[in-house]
Chains A and B, each alone.
With several copies, the nearest count.
Chain A
Amino acid sequence: MRKFKIFMDDAKEEQWINDMASQGWHFKSFNFPLYSFDKGEPAEYEYRTEMLEGFGYGKAANEYLDFVQSTGIEVVQKRFNWVYFRQHKSKGNFELYSDQSSKLSYINRIFTIYSTLAVLNLIAAIINGSVLLLDESLRFNSFIAGLNTGVFIALLYPLAKTVYRKQNLKREIAMYEK
C-alpha cells in the first residue's frame, strides 16, 4: 500500500508509522512524498527514526549502523542521514536512547540542523527582500525572497517543537541523573 504524506515534525512521522504498524501496515520505504507499507500482523514491530550525525555517510555512520544491527535492530531504510529502524515487539520496549543526557544530545543534533537551515533562509530572504525595496523590477529576487521566507516560516514549526522538547528534557536533567 502507498500513502501520500508530508511531515514537518520527525516525532509525528515516527508516531504515524507506529500507528500504521499497530494496524498491520509495516513501513517499507519512503520516496518523497510516498510512504510504502507491507501487510503483516498488527503490532508486530516497533519503529524508531533517527537523524545520523553529519551527512549520514562515512566510517562513523557505518560503524554506528553496524553496532545497532548487532543488537538485533533492523535498518528498514536509510536516506542520507535519515534512518528508519524497527525491532520485533517480542524483544520488549525499543528505545535507541535510554537516558536523558543521550536523548538531549540527540535533540541538540536535530536542533542544530533545523536552526542552521532557518538562519540561512532568513538571511537569504532579507538580502533578496532588501534589494527589492530599492528596485522593484527585480522579479527573480522577488521569487527567491518569497521562497526563502516560505521555507523559513515552514522551519519555525519543527524548530519550536524541538526547542520545547529540549526545555522539557533539561528540566528533568537538573533533577534526575538520567
Chain B
Amino acid sequence: MQQPLTEGVYYILLALYEPRHGYGIMQIVEEWSDGRVKLGAGTTYGALKNLQEKKFIETLAGEGRKKEYVITSLGKQIVEAEVTRIKELYNNGRKIIKAEGDL
C-alpha cells in the first residue's frame, strides 16, 4: 500500500529525475511551486539521508558540496504511485467543490 509522501519529499524526488546537488534541489522546487515551497537546508539534508537509506535516490560521483543525487528506478515507482494517489485526491476534491458551486 502506497503511503502518502510529504510535499517536500515528493518535490525532492521529482527534482532528482535530473541529477542535482542539494542547493539545486531547493532552487528548482521553489521555482516549480512558484515560491510556495521553500525547503530549509536542515529539512533537505534530513530528507536526502532518509531517501538514500530507502534506496529511492543515490549519489553520483562528487564529494562534499559538489555531491550530486539522482532518483533510482525504485524511487520512480514510488513517485508514479504518488502521482496516481494525488490524481485521486484532486478528482474527488474538484468533483465535490464543483457540485457545491452549482447550487
Binding site for B on A (CB under 8 A): 50, 63-64, 66-73, 92-93, 95-102, 105-106, 171-172, 174-178
Contacts and interface: CB of A to CB of B under 8 A. Distances in A.
A172 B1 CA distance: 14
Contacts of A95: 38, 40
A101 B43 CA distance: 9
Contacts of B65: 66-67, 69-70
Interface in B29-53: 37-47, 50-51
Nearest to B23: A71
A92 B26 CA distance: 13
Contacts, number: 85
Contacts of B91: none
Interface residues of B, number: 27
Interface of B: 3-9, 21-23, 26, 37-47, 50-51, 54, 64-65
B3 A70 contact: no
A174 B47 CA distance: 8
